[in-house]
Copies of this chain bind each other. A is one copy, B any other.
Amino acid sequence: MTAAETEAFLRSRWVDVPDGVEELDPARLAPGFRAGAAACGLKAGGQTDVGLLACEAETVASALALTANASAAAPVRVCRNECDGARIRAAAVNSGNANASTGEQGYRDALAMRDAAADALGLEPAAVAVAETGVIGVPLDTPSVVSGIGTVSEGLSERGGAEFAGAIVTTDRAPKHCTVAAGGVTVSAQAKGAGMIQPGFATMLCFVQTDAQITDPDAALRESLARSMERITVDGQMSTNDMVLLQATGDAGRPLPAGLLDAVLLQLALEIVADGEGATRVARVEVREAMHDEEAERVARAIANSPLVKTALFGRDPNWGRIAQAAGMALAGEEITELGPDRIDASDLASEASEAEIGVELGRGSGGAHLYFSDLTYDYVRINAEYTT
């Protein structure tokens, strides 16, 4: 296995690919999983907008991470209240309607979607997760979605990964998915995201399947999310619908190789931020020498979410002054050593590369944090000012 062979998917210089990773056809799901999709009229132009993902194995270990947004959408509340996150067998997803801020009817609609999938697959309702993404505050066309779930359930395929990934996108420029093998196990994963991206304890929609044995899926997912989806921001906005589902059958009889889940989730996270609404570039800001990690995190977020830094990234302007300003805002009231060009390396902002590195040394201690963020462009304004509710 050479580096070139992994380039198709695990291609970012920021992803630490474990030894011996083989990339498989991304349509192919991890053994034991099947998926499919249909077009139900939620999205214009006949695009697929309802997806179904199912695990054939009776015993599956799973973990579900949900947004902390207080305006959480109906599907998130259904997952939180009505599902058993540790034994999720299947997931029903629509793209086109977030089913957020839709009241009691919205909750009933998310339940109906969930129940339709459970019925069609012969599963207990508590073993089915439901995820939705799209416009907020519009009633769901539940009859179409329920009918679509029935249709999809009859044509699920072991090679349905690409179809499923295509059915969950909204303003994404491309679907995001992969299938990799290493150490005798297989991992497949699909994600979507583009705007409203600064996950809090979870992220955009993301589904990960494997035949590896994972004894504590919740811990495994939390730890990998902390190093991937929690490290990105497009516009500083926590979504109402974020969800990540990890499912492991254990049928391979082996554990996940160290670093594999991290690599897959980080690559997907980087694809999400690179596909941020209107984005042309991604930067990685690394803050070192903070008083503690929390302080470094605060400074990194202030920099990554500053519209002045994000427009400098777009304009290829090595404007370290804006980085000093954002860091100083995050440290308001503190006495700090002045942040000049000796402490801020912003030269990469001016590079022609699509990926830029920014380094900040606060000189206050040994705390550190890093974040990946996209630029703020004319297209971000166009997409969000011309989008009609």
Chain A residues with CB under 8 Å of chain B are: 68-72, 98, 100-103, 135-137, 195-196, 200, 235-240, 306-308, 311-312, 314-315, 317-322, 324-336, 338-341, 376-378, 380-382, 384-389
Contacts and interface: CB of A to CB of B under 8 A. Distances in A.
A37 to B, nearest CB: 25
Number of copies: 2
B320 A237 contact: no
Contacts of A311: 380-381, 384-385
- Give the residue among A330, A334, A339, A384 with the most B Cβ atoms within 10 A: A384
B327 A389 contact: no
Given A196-B308, A314-B381, A380-B307, A101 B137 contact: no
Given A235-B307, A324-B101, A385-B314, A71 B338 contact: yes
Given A103-B338, A317-B388, 14 more contacts: A70-B327, A70-B330, A70-B336, A71-B325, A100-B325, A137-B341, A235-B306, A237-B307, A238-B328, A307-B384, A308-B384, A315-B387, A318-B389, A377-B385
10 contacts: A70-B333, A71-B338, A71-B339, A100-B325, A101-B320, A136-B322, A136-B324, A137-B320, A237-B307, A237-B329
Q: Which 8 A-B pairs have the closest CB atoms?
A: A71-B328, A136-B321, A315-B385, A311-B384, A70-B331, A238-B329, A70-B328, A68-B332
- Give the residue among A196, A307, A326, A340 with the most B Cβ atoms within 10 A: A307
Prevailing SS type, chain A contact patch: loop
A330 to B, nearest CB: 8
Nearest to A383: B311
B328 A69 contact: yes
A72 B324 contact: no
A334 B72 CA distance: 10
A332 to B, nearest CB: 4
Contacts of A388: 317
Contact of A332 (B100, B238, B341): B238
A312 B384 contact: yes
A359 B86 CA distance: 41
A196 B334 CA distance: 20
Contacts of A326: 237
A332 B236 CA distance: 14
A42 B384 CA distance: 37
